[in-house]
Amino acid sequence: MENEVKLTAGAMVTLGLATAALVVLPYIQVRDVKTPEGLKPYTSAELRGRASYIANGCVYCHTQQPRDKSFGPDAERGWGRATVPADYVYDKPHLLGSMRTGPDLMNIGVRQPSKDWHLGHLYQPRAYVPGSIMPSYPYLFDLKDQAEEGDEVLKLPPGYTPANKVVVATPEALDLVKYLQSLNRSYPVLPTEPRETAGAPAEAAAEAAPPATPAPAGEPAPAS
C-alpha cells in the first residue's frame, strides 16, 4: 500500500511541476501583452482567407515567426524583424509553423503587395519562380470561355493561360490573397527585454529602452 501512495504522490508532483512550467508560467509571461498600435484586427475577408490558409495546409511549409538576428539570418533574407508575443494577439489559432520548405510569410504583405502576383502564384507557382516546389492550387480558380462582369481575370505570364480560356479567381482565392497582403509586422515594437539587462530591476530596463526607439531587431522589413 505504501508504494501506491508514493507512486500517486510522485505522479501528482510531476504533473504539478509540468503544469506550472508549461501552462502557468507562460500564461503569466504573456497575459499582460498589449496590442501594438500598428497592428490592425483582421477584416472578415482576411479571416476567411486565414481559414483557407489553414485548410490548404500552407502552414506545413511556411512559418510565421522571423527569428532574432542571434538565431539566424531571417532579417537579411528580408523576412522582417523578430516577432514578439504582441504581434500575435489576433492570431487564433497562431500559425507559427515549424517547417520552412518555403519562406517565412509573417511580412509577405510588405515584401510582395501585388494582388496579381499572389493570384498567379497560387494558380501556378512555376509561372513566377522556375523550379518552385510549391503546389499549385488550380481548384481556387475557375476556367471560363469568357470573363463575366465582376470577374477577377488572372494576368498570367505568357504561355500559362489554357488556350481559348480565361482563368478567374474564386472568392476563396481573393480572400486568401487579402489575408496574405495583410501579413505585416513591420511596425516598431519595444524590445522584449534586452539581454544585458535581463534580471536587472524593471526601471533600469525601461530606461535602457526609450519608448520611441524601435528594437535593434525592429527595423521594418525592406519594402521590396
* Amino acid identity for residue 186 in this structure: S
Task: Tell me if 119 contacts ligand HEC by CB under 6 A.
Answer: no
- Phi and psi for 166 in degrees, rounded to 5? -120, 145
Neighbours of 98 (CB within 10 A): 8
- Determine if 183 is a binding residue for ligand HEC (CB under 6 A): no
Stretch that binds ligand HEC, among 12-20, 37-45, 55-63, 186-194 (CB under 6 A): 55-63
Closest C-alpha among 58, 38, 182, 69 to residue 121: 58
How far is the CA of 85 from the CAs of 75, 90, 142, 192, 204, in angstroms? 18, 11, 39, 9, 22
**Closer residue to ligand HEC (CB): 62 or 191:** 62
Question: Does 171 help bind ligand HEC (rule: CB under 6 A)?
Answer: no
Indicate the residue among 39 and 134 with the shorter CB distance to ligand HEC. Answer: 134
Contact 94, 88 (CB under 8 A): yes
136 lies in the binding site for ligand HEC (CB under 6 A): no
d(CA 215, CA 212): 9
Complex with ligand HEC: residue 26 or 57, whichever CB lies closer: 57
Residue type, 77: R
Q: Please give the Cα distance from 155 to 44 (Å, whole number).
A: 26
Judged by CB under 6 A, the stretch of 25-33, 133-141, 158-166, 195-203 that binds ligand HEC is 133-141
Site string for ligand HEC, 88-107 (x = CB under 6 A): -------------xxx-x--
Check binding of 57 to ligand HEC (CB under 6 A): yes
Q: Min. distance of Cβ 101 from ligand HEC in angstroms?
A: 4
Chain positions contacting ligand HEC, by CB under 6 A: 53, 56-58, 60-62, 101-103, 105, 108, 111-112, 125, 129, 132-135, 137, 176, 180
